[in-house]
Each structure stands twice: as structure tokens, then as C-alpha cells.
Amino acid sequence: MQRETGAGSGPWRECYRQDEIVAFVRDHSALLGLISSLVDDDECSFDHHGGCQAHGFLSLEPGEMCPNEEAKRLIEEARR
Ligand SMILES: [Zn+2]
């Protein structure tokens, strides 16, 4: 994004042009929509190696969050 100094009043407006903000929000919404259509509602099912059997992330380290759960939380947080 191109920086612009002294324009507008808010912190966003000082750094970014209006059309850049619109494009950012549009891309962000599109990505969130895409992620939410890919996320599986089923709960994770961890094996004794720490991998999630339910979502096929078998090489997770013990205690590491499954990307499916991470995506769910991300969407939930973004919709608040
Ligand atoms: Zn999972």
C-alpha cells in the first residue's frame, strides 16, 4: 500500500487512501468467506502423537492447535 502523509484525520486515513481501505476490507471479507466454507464443523480428534485425525493434520506436535480449529477461532473473532 502506498503511504500518504497528512491526509484525513484518523490513523487509517493518515496512512492509506480510501480506495486502499475499501480494497483491503473487500479482500479480507472474501478470504473470511472462503475460509468459513472450507472449515469443518466437526471437533478435532487427536491421536497419541498429537495429530488431528478428524482433519488430517497428522504431523502436529503435541499441544499444537489444529489449523481447522485455528481457522474457526479466526472467523469467530473476525465476526465479533
Ligand atoms: Zn482438527
Residue 41 Cα to ligand 1 middle (Å): 10
Verify that 30 and 2 share a domain, yes or no: yes
Q: Which residue has the higher pLDDT, 63 or 55?
A: 55
Verify that 33 and 2 share a domain, yes or no: yes
Residue 76 Cα to ligand 1 middle (Å): 16
- Of 4, 26, 24, 28, whose CA–CA distance to 16 is shortest? 4
Q: Which residue range is the domain that position 24 belongs to?
A: 1-38
Verify that 60 and 78 share a domain, yes or no: yes
Verify that 47 and 30 share a domain, yes or no: no
For the segment 12-52, what is each residue's pLDDT rounded down to a tens digit? Answer: 556 788 898 889 888 999 999 999 999 999 999 999 999 99
Verify that 27 and 49 share a domain, yes or no: no
Q: What pLDDT, on a 0 to 100 scale, did the predictor assign at position 54?
A: 97
* pTM for this model (two decimals): 0.69
Q: What pLDDT, on a 0 to 100 scale, did the predictor assign at position 7?
A: 47
Residue 29 Cα to ligand 1 middle (Å): 23
Verify that 50 and 80 share a domain, yes or no: yes
Residue 69 Cα to ligand 1 middle (Å): 6
Q: Are 14 and 5 in contact (CB under 8 A)?
A: yes
Verify that 21 and 47 share a domain, yes or no: no
Domain count, the chain: 2
Residue 10 Cα to ligand 1 middle (Å): 40
